[in-house]
Structure 1
Amino acid sequence: MRDQCCTEYEACVSCCLAPQHEAAKLAKEVLRSPRHKESGVWGDAFSYCMGVCRTHSRSTAHENSYISPRHHCFSKLGRPMLSDPLPPGALADVEVVTSERNGTCDEACTKLQGKPKKCSIVHLNVLNSCDRLREHHGCEAGCEEASGLGPSYVDPEAPKPARPAMCFVQPQGDPLVQCGSRTPHHMMLCACSAQ
């Protein structure tokens, strides 16, 4: 339960109430509706846990299709993780950026301010997961593997056949994960490091 998600709503509320998760403290700090101060904070730990364990759009892949059967979450992330978290330092000294629409990671890295940077293929493979893409983009239409596409996010304004707001990752070990990849309507998730 590294992502603090459960398959059952009741189990989520129960886990959230465990002393180590400090629900009583969070209930007094967390807004009932994020970014809306007028919603106020939760009244008590039980109300807080009941609220945060409800399903919402962050736990869905597309419409009513859940990312995972473990879609009741009480973590700050609020959605299940599909892969293990990155080990500490996995992206040390790496700047994660998104390319322009139809752009490459090579282009995105050279446009950064400060010291010259270039795309790191090693770190690009670290970013090649739906979880990493969801940390930077909504992936509102879902996330799937496709050889030759990704890690990328399709521009939400793209025409329907291009699958707007969809995220794509390459199959693990796919040699097509490259810094020079370019796909129409896609914005690449890029790893830039000092030259």
Structure 2
Amino acid sequence: MLFPFNRSMVTLLPKNRSTLFLGCKLDLQCCNSYEYCVSCCLDPSRTKERDVLKLKVAKPVTAGTYANIFDFCMGRCRHSSASVVHENAYVSDFHHCFMVQQNLSGSTDSNYGSRLAGISVIVGRQGEPCSSTCRAKGQSCVPSRLSELNKCQILQKYMRCRSGCFPSLGPDQPAEVVDEAPTSLNPGACLYMQTDERLTCDGSHQHTRRVCPCA
């Protein structure tokens, strides 16, 4: 469905990222309606066109890139599994998000290998917490190293992430949604936690497989 949109609206958006404006929480880059999300996304101070045009529309190597920033915003503001909990409810009213698909907890760097020295990175079974995954290998989960795995770049190294990689909220993360999961959960998507402090070895979800730091 088409909606009325005035491109001049983006010039009126406040620069304070913590401001609630036009139905959007700008610090979270999420809005309570699709129309407002697209409007906020088009603000050049929040979404850089040079970054957006490099992104693939989908995970496969054959997928193309976005033609323009408007196409990106139209697609990004639609729902993803990151906005849904318990398969049929939204995490919050602000479930249309326009953040560029990347890991807010940081990207990989040259110190990645040294920080995981002595750690066995193991992908668990569906619905299994990391504490059990590591125990099955005669090891223990190392909670202080979960943050090193809580990155899209790392998830894509150990998992397929065929449906993309998205920020989410859940004690089972970082993880990948299994292919057999309900469509509403975005099967094949990798999920990372936006707040490292909430990561735990004991979380699990019946429709995900975790990546675990064991030692």
TM superposition score category, shorter chain reference: 0.5 to 0.7
TM, length-normalised to structure 1: 0.55
- Tell me the matched-pair count: 125
2:108 to 61, 64, 84: 84
Amino acid at match of 1:155: V
The reply on whether 1:137 has 2:162 as its aligned counterpart is: no
1:186 corresponds to which residue?
208
Kept in 1, the 8 Å contact 2:126–2:209? The answer is yes
Amino acid at match of 1:85: D
Amino acid at match of 2:142: S
Per the alignment, do residues 65 and 121 of structure 1 end up closer, same or farther by CA in structure 2, a change over 3 Å counting? farther
Per the alignment, do residues 65 and 153 of structure 1 end up closer, same or farther by CA in structure 2, a change over 3 Å counting? farther
Q: Which runs of 4+ in 1 moved over 4 A?
A: 56-60, 63-66
TM, length-normalised to structure 2: 0.50
Superposed displacement of residue 117, structure 1: 1.0
The reply on whether 1:101 has 2:126 as its aligned counterpart is: yes
Amino acid at match of 2:122: V
Amino acid at match of 2:135: T
The reply on whether 1:110 has 2:142 as its aligned counterpart is: no
Amino acid at match of 2:167: E
- State how far apart, in whole Å, the 2-side matches of 1:137 and 1:86 are: 21
- State how far apart, in whole Å, the 2-side matches of 1:59 and 1:90 are: 30
Provide structure 2 residue ranges, at least 5 long, that are not aligned to the other structure: 1-49, 51-57, 70-101
User: C-alpha offsets along residues 83-130 of structure 1, whole Å, 9 cap, x if unaligned?
Assistant: 132514111111001111011000100011xxx310001111111001
Kept in 2, the 8 Å contact 1:96–1:191? The answer is yes
User: C-alpha offsets along residues 49-91 of structure 1, whole Å, 9 cap, x if unaligned?
Assistant: xxxxxxx95558xx5457xx9xxxxxxxxxxx96132514111
The reply on whether 1:127 has 2:149 as its aligned counterpart is: yes
Provide structure 1 residue ranges, at least 5 long, that are not aligned to the other structure: 1-6, 8-55, 70-80
Amino acid at match of 2:202: G
The reply on whether 1:167 has 2:190 as its aligned counterpart is: yes
- State how far apart, in whole Å, the 2-side matches of 1:86 and 1:110 are: 30
Amino acid at match of 2:193: Q
RMSD of the TM alignment (CA)?
3.2
Kept in 2, the 8 Å contact 1:154–1:164? The answer is yes
Kept in 2, the 8 Å contact 1:147–1:176? The answer is no
Superposed displacement of residue 172, structure 1: 3.7
